[in-house]
Structure 1
Amino acid sequence: MGLPKLSPPKQSLNQSLITDLTDRRNLVIVIPSFNDWEALEKLLLLIDEIIIPQGTNLEVVIVDDYSTMPIPHSLTHQEHRQIRAVNILRLRRNLGHQRAIAVGLSYVYSHSDCDWVVVMDGDGEDNPFAIEHLLNVSDKTGNNKIIFAKRSKRSESYTFKFLYFIYKKLYLLLIGKEISVGNFSLLPAYLLKNVVVISEIWNHYSSGIYRSRIPYIEVDVPRAKRLAGQPKMNLVSLVTHGLSSIAVYGDIVGTRILLSIVVLLVILLLLLGLVLLIRVFTDWGIPGWATYVSGLLVLSMLQLVLIGTVFSLIILSTRNQSNLIPVRDYKYYVDDFFPLKP
C-alpha cells in the first residue's frame, strides 16, 4: 500500500500578493519631445486608454530634448486611470530625436526593471492604439524580436511623400535594402541590453538596429495624424535625418561608390583604347578630334582617381574612430529625472 498523496499547502494572503506582484509585467513607453507639450498632453490621454495585458504596469518616460517652453500646468495636473507614472528625463542640451531616443533607452536600461519598452514619437502620428497589436505580435513570436511598426499608410503632404519616396530609393540604391519604418517599435527587455551598445543608434535608431542584425519583425501600422501643433521637421531637418540613416552604413556606401568609380575607370580606359585604335588604324573623324577626346577621357580618369582616393581615406579613417556607446556615455547628457506631477 503506497503512501497517501499530500495536497499542496494553501497560500496565505501575503504569499498570494507576492505571487501577483511577481507575475506583473512592466511596460515602459519612451517618448522624445521638444516643445511639443500640447500634442503630448493629448497623446498621454490616448495612451491611458490603450488595451494592455492584465496585470501590466504602464509607465511613460518623456525625454525632454532641452525644450525652451515650460511644461504647461494642465499637463502636470493631468489625471490618468491606467498609467502608473509619467516621468521627465531632462537633457542638458538639444540632441535631436534620434539621440534623445538613445539616451532614453540607455536610462531605462540602467534604472528600470521592465519587460517591454515601446519607442514612439510624441506628436501622435505613431498611433498609441497600435501598441496592443505590437504586444500581441511579440507574444506570438516568443518575445525575442524587436517589433517595428511599418508605415503602411502615411498622412503627410504630397511633397513630403515625394521626398520620402526619393529617400527610400536612394537608401535602397546605396545600401541594398529598403527602409519603411521609423521610431515606433517594441523592444523585449532582454534585447534592450543589445540595443544600448549599438553606437549607430546615436545617429539613427532604426537604421542602427538594421545594421546590428538584431532580429526584428515589421508589421503594418497606418500612420496617424498629428494631434496638435505644427510639424517640427522642415526640409533641412528631413534631409539631415535621411543622411543620418545612410551614414550608419558609411563604410558600405563608401565602398559601393569606390567600386562604381573603379568600373567607370575601366569603361573610360576602354573608351580611350577605342579612340587610339580608331586614330591609328582608320581615317575616320575630324582632324584633332582624337587629341581632344583623349584629353577629356584622361582628365575624367584623373578626377575619378582623386575621388576614389578621398573615399578610400574616409573609409579607413571611419574604421579607426572610437565610437560613442550610448549606455556608457548617456549620463553626460542627462540633466534631471523627475515625475511629471509635482
Structure 2
Amino acid sequence: MTDQTVTPADRINVVIPLFNDWQAVGLLLERIRAVVEPTVQNRLAFLIVDDCSVTNYDAFPSGVGQSLSILRLYRNVGHQKAIALGLAYLGSLPDQYPTIVMDSDGEDRPEDMAELIRTEAANPGKVVFAHRAKRHESLTFRLFYEVYKTVFRILTGKVITFGNFSLIPARQLRRLSHVSEIWNNYPGGVIRSRLPYTAIPLERGRRLAGESKMNFVSLVLHGLSAVSVLIDTTAVRLVLFCVLMASAASMGITVLLYLKFFTNTSIPGWTSYLMSSFLIVILQAFLISLLLVFVVLSYRTQPQFIPARQFSDFVERVEEIY
C-alpha cells in the first residue's frame, strides 16, 4: 500500500452519523452557516452517514461549506459503527484531510469547531477531543454518566471525559480507520490505538430538534462497549481483584482453623457456615479468573473487524447533494 497523501488544509471533512434526525441536521447546517466564521465554513465538506434511516430528508440548506454528501448504509449498525464506517470511507480516498466528528443533534456546538482546529494546529498530529466542561442533561443522566466514568477508570485504569466530538489530523485518519476497536467505541478505540490525543474543555450545547435517543439502557450499552475496547486490561484487573478476594478468604479460613486447633477460644456455632462461605468465595474467584482468561484468549485469536478493509460491505451508495 502506498503512503497516504496528505493535502494542504484547504478542506476539513465533517462526519455526522445520523438516524432519522433529518430536521435536526438541517438546523445544524443552518447554525453552522450563522455562527461559524467564513474562513472555517468555506473549508467544510460534510459527510452525513445515514444509519439506514426509515425516513428521509425533505430539503437541505444549500451553500453551507464546500460540499455535502450522504453515505447510505444497507443496514442500521448503531452510532459508533456509523462513525467508524464514515471514517473508513474517507480514509479510503486518495487525498486525506483533517476530519471533524460531530453529532447531528446540535449538542456538539458548531462555534467550537474553530477551537478544535486551533488546538490541533498547536498540537500537530494529535487527535483533539472536546471535554464536556458543562452539560445540560437531566440530573439523573449526569449522575449515571459520572458512575460510568468512575467504573471505566476502575476497570481500565484510563480516564475518559470526552465523547465523539473531535478533530482527527489528516495524517492520522487512515491509521485510525485500521484500528478495529473504533468499530465498538470510537473514543475508546482512539485510546486503545495509542495515537496521540488531547482534550479541551468545551460546553455541550442543547438539542436542536426532536428527543434524545440516549436513555439508561443506551448509556449502559455505551459504557460496556467502551470497556470492551480495553478488554485485556479490564480482564487483568478483574483477575487481580479475584486473587485478592481469594487471598482474603484464605486468610479468613486460616484464622478460623488457628483459633479452633491452637487456642482455647470458644468457636461459635456459625463458624462452619463462615468457613463454607470463604470456600465458596475462593471457588468463585477461581472460576471467574479461569473464565476471564478464556475470554481474553478467545478475543486474541478471533479475526478482528478492520473498518478500512470491510466498510464497503455496509455502504449502499454515496449521494452527493451539492
TM over 0.5: yes
> How far apart are 1:113 and its partner, in Å?
2.6
Matched, 1:90 2:76: no
Matched, 1:257 2:242: no
- Whether the aligned pair in 1 keeps the contact of 2:23 and 2:57 (CA below 8 Å) is no
Q: Could you tell me how far apart the structure 2 residues matched to 1:229 and 1:55 are? A: 25
- Whether the aligned pair in 1 keeps the contact of 2:42 and 2:66 (CA below 8 Å) is no
- 1:59-98 superposed Cα distances (whole Å, 9 cap, x missing partner): 10000000001212x32xx222x41211000001001110
> How far apart are 1:57 and its partner, in Å?
3.0
Matched, 1:239 2:239: no
- Whether the aligned pair in 1 keeps the contact of 2:259 and 2:267 (CA below 8 Å) is no
Q: Could you tell me how far apart the structure 2 residues matched to 1:315 and 1:54 are? A: 45
- Whether the aligned pair in 1 keeps the contact of 2:9 and 2:98 (CA below 8 Å) is no
- Whether the aligned pair in 1 keeps the contact of 2:13 and 2:46 (CA below 8 Å) is yes
- 1:237-261 superposed Cα distances (whole Å, 9 cap, x missing partner): 1110111001101111111111111
Counterpart of 2:43? 57
Cα distance 1:207–1:54, how it changes in 2: closer, same or farther (>3 A)?
A: closer
Counterpart of 1:71? 57
Matched, 1:27 2:9: no
Matched, 1:110 2:92: yes
In the alignment, residue 19 of structure 2 is paired with which amino acid?
Answer: F
Taking the TM superposition and a 5 Å limit, the aligned residue runs for 1:60-209 are: 60-72=46-58, 74-75=59-60, 78-80=61-63, 82-111=64-93, 113-141=95-123, 143-209=124-190
Matched, 1:312 2:297: no
Structure 2: which 5+ runs fail to align? 1-6
In the alignment, residue 146 of structure 1 is paired with which amino acid?
Answer: V
- SS where residue 45 of structure 2 aligns? strand
Counterpart of 2:31? 46
Q: Could you tell me how far apart the structure 2 residues matched to 1:54 and 1:96 are? A: 29
Name the larger-Rg structure.
1
Taking the TM superposition and a 5 Å limit, the aligned residue runs for 1:206-245 are: 206-245=187-226
Structure 1: which 5+ runs fail to align? 1-21
TM-score (norm 2): 0.93
Q: Could you tell me how far apart the structure 2 residues matched to 1:310 and 1:301 are? A: 14
Q: Could you tell me how far apart the structure 2 residues matched to 1:327 and 1:295 are? A: 53
In the alignment, residue 138 of structure 1 is paired with which amino acid?
Answer: E
Identity %: 39
Q: Give the CA RMSD over aligned residues.
A: 1.7
- Whether the aligned pair in 1 keeps the contact of 2:28 and 2:106 (CA below 8 Å) is yes
- SS where residue 25 of structure 1 aligns? coil
- Whether the aligned pair in 2 keeps the contact of 1:89 and 1:337 (CA below 8 Å) is yes
In the alignment, residue 36 of structure 1 is paired with which amino acid?
Answer: D
TM-score (norm 1): 0.88
